[in-house]
Chains A and B, each alone.
Chain A
Amino acid sequence: MSAVLPLGWAVLLPVLLLAVTWAVVAADVLAAGRAGGRPVPWTVAALTPAREALRLLVGQRRRAVGGDELLRGIGGAVLPLAALLAAVVLPLGLRPVADLGVGIVWFNAMEVFAWAAVWLVGWGSNSTLSLIGGYRFVAQGLAWELPHMFALITAAVGAQSLRVTDVVAAQQGLWFVVIMPVAFVAFLLSVAAMAFWGPFGAPVGRDVAGGAAAELGGVDRLVFVTGRWLLLVAAAAMAVPLFLGGGHGPWLPAWAWVLVKTLAVLAAVVALRHRLPTIRMERWTEFSLVVLTPATIAQALVVTLVALGEGGLR
């Protein structure tokens, strides 16, 4: 069970992630068209990610006036790298690319890089609106990180291991979403918040003219936007091994179950996104600290008590 995928998968992983990201972006275009009352044919939607990428590839890079190029460059590059490194512990089937003993902590640590990334891009652009976008993401990060960590810890307690493959193995009979629904919901919310996407898109919102990304052009914007989508995909995919039984399921092979479940989570997230307005940071912080954090702590407590009752922590 603890076996790791062959090394070649390290190369395949980004390709897989990008393929799923492509599908998600296309689905998002479709959903946006439907929500706006101007449906987009699926052939057009399927090509849109490629068109947008090409548009940004041929586009000129911009240097912000008086900006800090180094910080901005680092910030932009960190985003997709963090997503890729977080995805390393994702079991594709039953085995991940790297089966770290502290996989869950690793995953969380990689996501937190997004804080630095967005802030650096917002700061390095030397523009008021970008800076406001950066501020917003830091505030948002403070709000989502606590419930997010408690959600991760709850899954780890349920399996009594920080190793992601152990968490999957522990769900052979019962998916964790059944015994820890609050943690699952908190995890999904923080997934969108961490990718500053959908209802949590204020850091790159329209009101601040693109926020942290306002001054990015050409390939810089491509890397930033792709990194954001990759983060969303990687984090949503993590919900599968943590709460939805990973590769376990009847009839289909493990990898197919992982793919199906990941796509289902992403489809639900995309469909929900277009029904909701953007959440303001000050309201979200309040909700997160007053409601969500205590709820996830209570959830962790319940799961811990159950684990103790079933024969104690190892």
Chain B
Amino acid sequence: MDLRNALLRAAAARPHVLVVGGVGTDRLRARVEQEIARRRWPVATAPADADVLVVVGRPGPELDPVIDGVWAAVPVPRSRAQITGEDEIASALEAAVRTLSDLTAQHALALRDGLPTAHTDTSPGEQDQHADGHDEQTGHDEHSGSHHHQEGGMELPGGLAMADLGEDRDGLVLDQLHVALGPVLPEWPSGLVVDVVLQGDVIQEARSRFLDLDLDDRDAPECLPDAARALDSAARVLALVGWDGPAARARGLRDALLFDRVDGSRVLEEVDDLRRRVRRSRLLRWMLRSAEAGRSEVLETLHDKLLSARCAVAGAGGAAPVAVDLPALDSRLVGAEFAAARLIVAVADPQPQPTLTRPADRGGAS
């Protein structure tokens, strides 16, 4: 018993953390990420890789079942923390580690077989981290006649859906897979879900939406200031191209701007340094530039983001980031390969913009 306790404690010393937040939690989420980085805890890539699930803010009725699905996929020892305010972060993370190293608590949390409890009342593939409760996919099914729902006869073990058939870009008839990307994916905008039809790793149809957008009780979602938002988005792009060092630096600068009242000139220097590195990397240019649409755009937007961050830090009040609306994002995603699609979403960095508040947003850019 003592040995098991000691092992659990030692294993809990460096937990991998999965941070999940809904729409409008960017600031709090950044604060949580800063605290995690300060403790040198790694950020998990997927539920299977996570020990601690941190839920930022109060998830709405659409996000909630998704989080439960993610939680079911986190292997024991595990712990879950809900953080709604900046002052709770340190204590919540410490409590999470205590739970991780508590043998009796983990016994209670353990699932038999390591399988998440199957079949709740949401849609197929609910256990999968990228799936969520969403029933509108039936519209895509007509051409093949197969039926995705749990009541249907085509159900596979675990409630997963069968693949359809459809023509691919070369005119071959290949499997089509209906997948919901997000809202829990590394480097993914908070609360965004893109329902895609995949063939291989090429996206054929895309429809993006934000979860829990029409909640009335939520006042204007807290937005990051321009410089921090540009850096946040740039960090995501850099992390997606697998350049972890500069990504971590961009994130560190974002946090410095947001929370650590540091000397502006030092931040400015580091932003310039980062811009130089990104601009100079031939490999990055070679990777992102190609004949394909969307690729060179990625690099230009990345440069623009870093430049606008610099201008905002310098107080020059650079151009406010251009908001990308969801239909435009959808049309860009169609025909893209998965890796390209991830970059397109990351550079677009769509923000939820309820129609009513749009004019106010324009004017209020600071």
Contacts and interface: CB of A to CB of B under 8 A. Distances in A.
A63 B48 CA distance: 10
Contacts of A59: 11, 51, 75-77
A35 interface: yes
A54 B7 contact: yes
B73 A52 contact: no
The 7 closest A-B pairs by CB, nearest first: A278-B242, A35-B245, A36-B248, A65-B158, A217-B75, A277-B243, A60-B75
7 contacts: A36-B244, A51-B13, A60-B110, A60-B114, A61-B75, A128-B128, A283-B290
Nearest to A35: B245
A237 to B, nearest CB: 25
Interface of A: 32-38, 40, 44, 48, 51-52, 54-55, 57-63, 65-66, 126-129, 132, 135, 199, 201-202, 205-210, 213-218, 221, 274-283
Given A51-B13, A62-B73, A277 B130 contact: no
A208 B198 CA distance: 14
A277 B298 CA distance: 15
Contact of A208 (B73, B128, B286, B338): B338
A209 B243 contact: no
B201 interface: yes
A276 B110 CA distance: 40
A201 B242 contact: yes
Contact of A210 (B45, B128, B247): B45
B130 A129 contact: yes
A65 B115 contact: yes
A278 B283 CA distance: 9
Nearest to A280: B287
Interface residues of B, number: 68
A207 B337 CA distance: 12
Interface in B131-146: none
B287 A206 contact: no
A284 to B, nearest CB: 9
Contacts of A34: 245
Given A36-B244, A277-B287, A283-B290, A55 B14 contact: yes
Given A37-B245, A206-B187, 18 more contacts: A34-B245, A36-B248, A36-B249, A51-B13, A54-B10, A55-B14, A61-B114, A62-B75, A65-B160, A66-B156, A128-B177, A129-B46, A129-B130, A132-B338, A135-B200, A205-B339, A278-B243, A283-B286
A92 to B, nearest CB: 32
Interface string B41-57: 00001101101000000
Contacts of A218: 75, 114
Nearest to B340: A280
A214 B128 CA distance: 11
Interface string B182-209: 0001110000000000101100000000
Interface string B340-363: 001100000000000000000000
B335 interface: no
Contacts of A274: 244-245
Given A65-B160, A66-B157, A58 B7 contact: yes
Nearest to B240: A207
| Most B CB within 10 A of own CB, among A57, A62, A135, A209 | A209
B252 interface: yes
B265 interface: no
Contacts of A279: 283, 287
Contacts of B218: none
A309 B166 CA distance: 59
Contacts of A128: 128, 130, 177, 179, 198
